[in-house]
Amino acid sequence: MSNHINARRQRAQSALNTNHIVLIGAGSHIPVPGGMDRIYPFKPHPDHYWLTGHRTPGAVLAFDPQDGWRDFTPDLTEDDHVWEGLTEREGEPISGLKTWLKERGGRPIAVLGVGGGPLDGIESDEAASASFTELLLDARRAKDEVEVELMKRACAATAAGFDRARAFTVPGVTEREIQIELEAECYRQGGQAMGYDAIVGTGTNAAVLHFAPSSREVKEGDFVLIDAGCEIDGYTADVTRTFVVGTPTQQQTELHGIVREALEYGNSQCKPGKEWRELHLECAAIMAKGLVSLGILRGDPQGLVEQDVHALFFPHGLGHLVGLGVRDGSGYLPGRQRSDRFGLAFLRMDLPLEPGYITTVEPGLYFIEPLLKDPARRERYADSINWEEVDRWLHIGGVRLEDNLLVTESEPVNLTGEIDLSP
């Protein structure tokens, strides 16, 4: 077994600090509904993959604190040979799991990862399973050297994709064509998959947070918002840039500049101990100040953020951890609850940053019609929002900028800082 997998298992063992038997399921193939004779691409549960380094449907990693780790994987069948060309499989035959468990009869069991399948019928301690899941997630948050290297490669391939997409974008090309160029270049540079469905929104589509690229043709003067990241060995980048086709107008330059100021401040603060919720609010205040300077908001930026006024223009969180999947390791520390405040309810994480964490920083300002044309909101925020001014911006869409930052003991490392940020 490689050294990094060994080190991760030791990390997991110290984090769990238990006498329970622990079973971690990789998950199984999921058939496409309707008898299509097809399956979805298999993605092992990240806890299993992190501790084994292989992607095997139906596998179970077992741990007995008194006896160490056992990597059980399905026995190779003739079908595996005939249809998939498989000649060997890592681990030991899962047919041995029953006996292994029998030998430990009466000991409490925690089930992590994906239950069911080979773990069907196993009685587990639900409370321990839930708490160990949290502990293991926390143990995985700080990325090791192998993970950081994969993230750097995923970010480099993604950067090449963004460069290509920007060079390709001229009036008349469609959002879908931009996506195709970006993804093709990511794959040429070593990307193995896209970490999530790429977002390409042009014109007012830039204001749709998760816009799926359409056949809309880009026009001179449009904002083009691209949010995409490619994946290498399961590790994905998550990057956004927004730029203008042709020469930016003053409105576009100003809006982009405000979001960029929030991005650069946010990036600079990705340091150990920094509370994510606090950074979210600080970046929100920078953007609220910018909106005041544009005459869109009225009042003291801090006070506007306390009333959640900024969230009508920035209706998402500042970011999330990223790695083995686009939200890898995000979440709330145990004991922290999701706020019911409009301006905070959508935070994907509430935790302090630590060395080794890789986080996105992704401020944005958007002119989203369903939020900004709502008569009830127009009445409620009549004092703090200049609605006539808002109407002069609705055509512009929106701007999001997103980098991936590695937290270190000293300065943060921007893994995506080479990608052109200009409007």
**Site residues, ligand GLY (CB under 6 A):** 196, 227, 238, 362, 402
Task: Identify what 196 binds: ligand GLY, Mn ion, none; CB under 5 to 8 Å per kind.
Answer: ligand GLY
Cβ neighbours of 11 (radius 10 Å): 17
Beta carbon nearer to Mn ion, 74 or 329? 329
Beta carbon nearer to ligand GLY, 103 or 197? 197
Sequence-separated (6 or more) residues with CB below 8 Å from residue 300: none
Q: Please identify which residue in the block is written with the tokens 């095997």.
A: 56
Residue 12 C-beta-side C-alpha neighbours within 13 Å: 28
Beta carbon nearer to ligand GLY, 231 or 238? 238
Beta carbon nearer to ligand GLY, 111 or 151? 151
| 360 binds Mn ion per the rule CB under 5 A | yes
- Beta carbon of residue 57, minimum distance to ligand GLY (angstroms, whole number): 26
Q: Describe the chain by its helix, strand, coil percentages, rounded to 5.
A: 40, 20, 45
User: Looking at this protein, which amino acid is placed at residue 88?
Assistant: E
Sequence-separated (6 or more) residues with CB below 8 Å from residue 155: 237, 239, 404, 415, 416
Q: Please identify which residue in the block is written with the tokens 């060395």.
A: 355
- Beta carbon of residue 239, minimum distance to ligand GLY (angstroms, whole number): 8
Beta carbon nearer to ligand GLY, 46 or 58? 46
Among 184-192, 299-307, 364-372, 398-406, the segment contacting Mn ion (CB under 5 A): 398-406
Task: Identify what 185 binds: Mn ion, ligand GLY, none; CB under 5 to 8 Å per kind.
Answer: none
Chain centroid offset of residue 105 CA: 40
- Beta carbon of residue 319, minimum distance to ligand GLY (angstroms, whole number): 7
| 227 binds Mn ion per the rule CB under 5 A | yes
Among 83-91, 108-116, 203-211, 396-404, the segment contacting Mn ion (CB under 5 A): 396-404
Beta carbon nearer to Mn ion, 12 or 401? 401
- Beta carbon of residue 362, minimum distance to ligand GLY (angstroms, whole number): 5
Distance (Å, whole) CA 237 – CA 154? 6
Cβ neighbours of 101 (radius 10 Å): 16
| 328 binds Mn ion per the rule CB under 5 A | no
Q: Which residue is nearest to ligand GLY (CB)?
A: 227
- Beta carbon of residue 339, minimum distance to Mn ion (angstroms, whole number): 20
224: left (phi over 0), alpha (psi -120 to 50) or beta: beta
Sequence-separated (6 or more) residues with CB below 8 Å from residue 266: 279, 282, 283, 318, 319, 361, 363
Distance (Å, whole) CA 393 – CA 280? 24
- Beta carbon of residue 348, minimum distance to Mn ion (angstroms, whole number): 8
